[in-house]
Amino acid sequence: MENKAGIAGLNERFAIPGVAQVVSGNGGFPRIAIETSAATAEIYLYGAQVTSWKPAGADEVLFVSDKSYWETGRAIRGGIPVCFPWFRAKADDPHAPSHGFVRTKEWQLESISREDGDSVCACLSTASDESTRRWWPFDFRLEYCITIGKSLRLQLKMMNSGQSALRFEEALHTYFKVGDVEQARVRGLDGAAFLDNRDGNSEKEQSSDLTISRQTDNAYMNATGVIEIVDPVLRRNLKTEKLGSTSTIVWNPWTDGASSMADLGEDEWRRMLCAEGANILSSAITLDSGQSHAMTITISNVGES
């Protein structure tokens, strides 16, 4: 879309005066800016990516790198990327884009509406086309509804619009802002089995809270419960609840992994921790023709405990 004309048209159809509007964001990408008494937020149509959420009276919850690319064809480093239809590298094609193709695709804005409790819901969609079939020969439609309020609710609905069964992975790859990743910990995974991607996906068991002291890339399987990032530096606990998700991913690149990332600033790895709901590996979803699946993630700032 030609951005100025496209943004004007989007505002004519969807803007809520004084509450939600579409503006030109970084790289000229259209961005939904939302501000209510409950929270402020930013959502890019590029990748349907939430890049900011601030509940009223609280600090920014999400991390976005100062070195992030804001270019077509490159993923935004931070916020909440949508990973689909595979997670990490594609198993049968090393040349395919990491974490799938929808995070570098411009999504369609379908609606912006007021909700109860001074919340705002923005719904976006994307579907299979020639560019996606290059990598994945299936027909699909994704609908993603993002509700901004005292909590942040994310619902990703996948519909198999083709004639054959398909299997896919998904994740809402949330980058949380933390004061110091070495002092933060993840609570709620005690006793859970996980696959350690830093150790050949060997299976291990979590003992007590997870603390970060090295490069971490853990996939907790059969994990459906609530997790919290306990952050003593920023003096807050960030809670993630989920439905329709049986995998939980925790990731931090540490200094050795971050050194190879041109879109992550020096020592920025200390101020971020990814912890998200997903369905990956043995938890991947199979859908017959015409079937759908929804994954819902709710994030809240519950203060200190």
> Which parts of the chain sit beneath pLDDT 70?
1-2, 305
- What was the pLDDT predicted at 1? 42
Does the domain at 3-303 match CATH 2.70.98.10? Answer given as yes
- What was the pLDDT predicted at 305? 58
CA 220 to CA 13: how far, in whole Å? 42
Amino acid at 144: Y
* % of the chain exceeding 70 in pLDDT: 99
For the segment 246-292, what is each residue's pLDDT rounded down to a tens digit?
A: 999 999 999 999 999 999 999 999 999 999 999 999 999 999 999 99
- What was the pLDDT predicted at 303? 78
Phi, psi of 14 (to 5 degrees): -125, -20
The Cα angle at residue 118 between residues 80 and 79, in degrees rounded to 5:
10
